[in-house]
């Protein structure tokens, strides 16, 4: 999952860099890519959405990892208390 997020972010950064190098003004610059036309502002908004999405995914992953650690701790305690579950 993290690799997919990094790949998406890398692609967005490449697009942003390309836009910033070819931009005449942020108001009227338009990029055409594979038949899709986006204004510079739309690209900026999409970039912010990617950043927000990445943060939400990372927070969710952290919660899952914390839950798994807690589950493992409970299982270990159970094994100590009840040897038949070992």
Q: Quick one: pLDDT at residue 66?
A: 93
What's the confidence (pLDDT) of residue 63? 93
Range list of H helices, the chain? 2-22, 40-81
Token pair, residue 68, equals 């798994």
Q: What is the pTM assigned to this prediction? A: 0.49
Query: Which residues is 31 bridged to in the sheet?
Result: 38
Maximum average pLDDT range among 1-5, 11-15, 19-23, 62-66: 62-66
Work out the percent of the chain whose per-residue pLDDT is above 70: 57
Q: How is the chain split into domains, by residue range?
A: 2-85
Measured torsion, CA atoms of residues 47, 48, 49, 54, in degrees rounded to the nearest 10: 90
């Amino acid at each position: 999952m993290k690799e997919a997020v990094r790949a998406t972010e890398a692609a967005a950064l490449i697009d942003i860099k390309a836009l910033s190098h070819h931009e005449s003004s942020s108001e009227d610059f338009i990029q055409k890519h594979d038949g899709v036309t986006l204004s510079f502002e739309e690209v900026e908004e999409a970039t912010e959405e990617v950043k927000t999405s990445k943060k939400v995914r990372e927070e969710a992953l952290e919660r899952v990892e914390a839950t798994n650690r807690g589950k493992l701790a409970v299982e270990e305690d159970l094994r100590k208390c009840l040897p038949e579950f070992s």
